[in-house]
Amino acid sequence: MPDALLSRARAAFDAAPPVGDPAYDQYCRFLGEELVAHWPQIARANAADVAAAQRLGMPPTLVERLRLTDVHRDRMVELTAMTRDELRKVREAEVPVSGAARHVHRVPRPLGVVLMVYEARPTVTVDGALLPVAVGNAVLLRGGKETAATNAAVERTVHAALTRAGLPTGLVTVLDDPQRRLLRALLKRPDEVDVLIPRGSPALVEHCRTSAIPLIAGGGGVNHLYVHRSADLDLAVRATLDSKLPEPAGCTSVETLLLDRAVARDYLTALARGLAGREGELTLHTAPELDAVVPCTLKTEPLAAHDLGREFLDPIVAVVPVDDENAALDHVRRHGSGHTEGVIARDRHVIDAFRRRADAAMVVVNGSLRLHDGPTLGLGTEIAIATGRLHVRGPVTLGALVTYSYVTDGAGALRG
């Protein structure tokens, strides 16, 4: 079943110019233009997807993940411009050497045919069609069935930009695969698929780990924020709210608050002040021992065992009291997903302990967990946040979507 589309993707990859060719800069520019030109069609398709999700009774938070607005359009167009700027950094460079060779150059090469598997966010379809292709990869995009109409409209837009840039349209294929039959078949093809990038729930990532295809895993944000007794509690409240409410289902959203027992009452009182007038926006799943110190204005439910290590994907935060930073780090080791961990503290010893011992793609000190974002940090555009240990960890930027070859000018030198 997948042979034809794999052959098409491989042929497009083989026919594509090398990294750094002007056609890729043109593609980024044309994609920005085509997104604007095709936006009415994309918006209509997206409205149909959103309406279908609402009819099926999908939770409002997840429905919002499907929805595209003009703000999303403007951000996607901005992304194409940012990618053009960053392409200049992915280039051949001479490596200083002192050995037998006269010159050694490090040359970027595409990873190959990339299979990207993700869930409900249609903006990821644009990310996947832009960043890998801008450095010469071919991509197979398997998004969620909830956004099938939107993704099809985006594919037509992308193909228009590829054609204008003189690149093969086979560099981008959106898979129509509502039953996952095609995905299951593709996961068995390490002979034709060079890299697998899953973005989504821990269940999705774990399913993809069964494949022999090399993996760049993104998603699974079971993230913690530890509030130490030395913390600025007003900052702790602001960091908590910014880490959850703007994007409750985002991969950098805080899921569990690890609260030092010594400041539990004061923190929860400050949180109630921070939520004044908007108390219904956040639900806390609290341990029984906190019942006596939780202000009555806060919306709470009992903490359950299955809340630990859980992605709520809603404006819900588990609140777990701990004795000290060692207990907090132990909890992170047992329940974290290696994505983003944070600490709010003034005590330098505590901060250093988290910096050294929290095993995550990013540790945030005295700030929002949502800082873990390539553009926000100034690291560049990203297609995912990787939680693995090989090739890349953290923001998967353009430089992580290539590999490198070395070219040497031996100038007649022999090893001997």
Percent of the chain with pLDDT over 90: 83
CB-count exposure of residue 58 (10 Å: 0-12, 13-18, 19+):
middle
Residues 95-104 have pLDDT tens digits of 887 766 678 8
Query: Per-residue pLDDT tens for 90-132?
Result: 998 988 877 666 788 999 999 999 999 998 789 999 999 999 9
DSSP letter string, 142-208 = E--GGGHHHHHHHHHHHHHHHHHHT--GGGEEE---TTSHHHHHHTT-TTT--EEEEEE-HHHHHHH
Phi, psi (deg, nearest 5) at residue 91: -150, 165
Name the percent of the chain lying above pLDDT 70: 99
For residues 309 and 202, give the distance between their C-alpha atoms in angstroms, rounded to a whole number. 11
**pTM listed for this prediction:** 0.89
Domain boundaries for CATH 3.40.605.10 within the chain:
3-216+396-409
- Give residue-wise pLDDT tens across range 135-177: 999 999 999 999 999 999 999 999 999 999 999 999 999 998 8
Q: What is the pLDDT of residues 38-48, one digit of tens each?
A: 999 999 999 99
> Which overall architecture, per CATH, does domain 3-216+396-409 show?
3-Layer(aba) Sandwich (3.40)
- pLDDT beyond 90 at 211: yes
Here the tokens at position 67 are: 């929805």
What pLDDT sits at residue 1? 67
Q: What fold, for 223-373?
A: Aldehyde Dehydrogenase; Chain A, domain 2 (3.40.309)
Position 221 scores a pLDDT of 86
Q: Where in the chain is CATH 3.40.309.10? A: 223-373
In the predicted model, what is the mean pLDDT of residues 22-28? 98
For residue 306, the tally of other CB atoms under 10 A from its CB is: 7
Distance CA 128, CA 76 (A): 12
